[in-house]
Chain A
Amino acid sequence: MTTTNTAPRPAFLDESETDRKLCIICSKGTLDMAYPGLVLANAALGEGIETNIFFTFWGLDMIAKKRMASLKATPVGNTAMHMPQAIGPIPGMTAMATRMMKKEISKLGFPEVPEFLQTLVDSGAHLWACKMSTDMMKLDPDELFDGVEGIIGATEFMEMSEGAQIIFI
């Protein structure tokens, strides 16, 4: 047993950790692929890590006001849902899979996507929409979630992510 007389500065306050910067690229628009980025961003923000999230291609559905609350999970092409592949495309299966997943997510205490994004913004996250994708999908800035700071191109993303760790989802 060691005894010290002054309360030590806690190890989690090491300066080296507070310089970390993270960029997460969200490129998928399904419910199951929305959560990994959101959960990681939330964890990063709670650790004092500067966090930027860049939404591109199908990932734009996560921040499109019209779609963000109704992302879906589908068994089609997903062997990890453990059912015969022929059942997946039957009408109603996607709705059922979505309902089940939403129920499980809510049981764990996780918020739905719009509320989750608001929590991230409140925690200091920066959200960005991809210029090429918004042009392609003909989305105006006012059709995007209010927490989105801007629409930027790939070059700006490169500038912004200098020195950051990048996660592509």
Chain B
Amino acid sequence: MTTTTISGREVHIDAEGFMTDPAEWAEELAPALAKQVGIDEITPDHLAVIRFLREDFATQGETPTLRRISTVAGVPTKRLFELFPKKPGKKMAFVAGLPKPQGCI
């Protein structure tokens, strides 16, 4: 197990860099985590998606997939790819301090 310091806070991460304890995450960490995946500025739209991920993980016990975010939270797929380009599922999970999504869709 590796620990790292993000925004002055010590957190545990796995080999891929994902935080391993959702309880160690706080919204103040989001901007620093986002920078690591190439998102220089966190907008309210980014935050809305991140908050949905956190709430959904808390109730479902797994990181929501892109399809779940678009159908349940109502954020269109296109918009998700604009907000978190290239690897949206992994990037948003990373910023939200959650495991990468496992679902096929």
**Is the beta-carbon distance between B15 and A11 smaller than 8 angstroms?**
yes
Interface size on A, residues (CB 8 A): 27
Selected from B17, B87, B103, the residue in CB contact (under 8 A) with A8 is: B17
Tell me if B90 counts as interface (CB < 8 A to partner A): yes
Instruction: Scan residues 9-48 of chain B and give those whose CB is less than 8 A from a CB of chain A.
Output: 10, 13, 15-18, 32-33, 36-38
In the assembled complex, A136 has its CB within 8 A of some CB on chain B: no
Q: For A4, list chain B residues within 8 Å (CB).
A: 2-5
- Interface positions, chain A 6-47, Cβ under 8 Å from B, are 6-13, 18, 39, 42-43, 46-47
Q: Nearest chain B CB to A21's CB is how many angstroms away?
A: 13
Q: Which of B3, B6, B17, B94 contacts A3 (CB 8 A)?
A: B3
Interface residues in chain A, defined as those with a beta carbon under 8 Å from any beta carbon in chain B: 1-13, 18, 39, 42-43, 46-48, 109-111, 119, 122-124
The answer to whether A46 and B15 touch (CB under 8 A), given A4-B2, A39-B104, is: no
Question: How many whole Å from A129's CB to the nearest CB in chain B?
Answer: 22
B87, A9: Cβ atoms closer than 8 Å: no
Q: Which residue of B lies closest to A39 (CB)?
A: B104
Task: Check if A7 sits within 8 Å of B2, measured CB to CB.
Answer: no
Other-chain residue from B32, B36, B89 in contact with A46 (beta carbon distance below 8 A): B89
Give every chain B residue within 8 A of A119 (Cβ-Cβ). 67, 70, 77
Across the interface, which residues of A come within 8 angstroms of B105, CB to CB? Answer: 39, 42, 109-111
A3-B86 contact, Cβ under 8 Å, with A10-B16, A11-B15, A109-B67: no
Does the CB pair A122–B37 fall under 8 Å? no
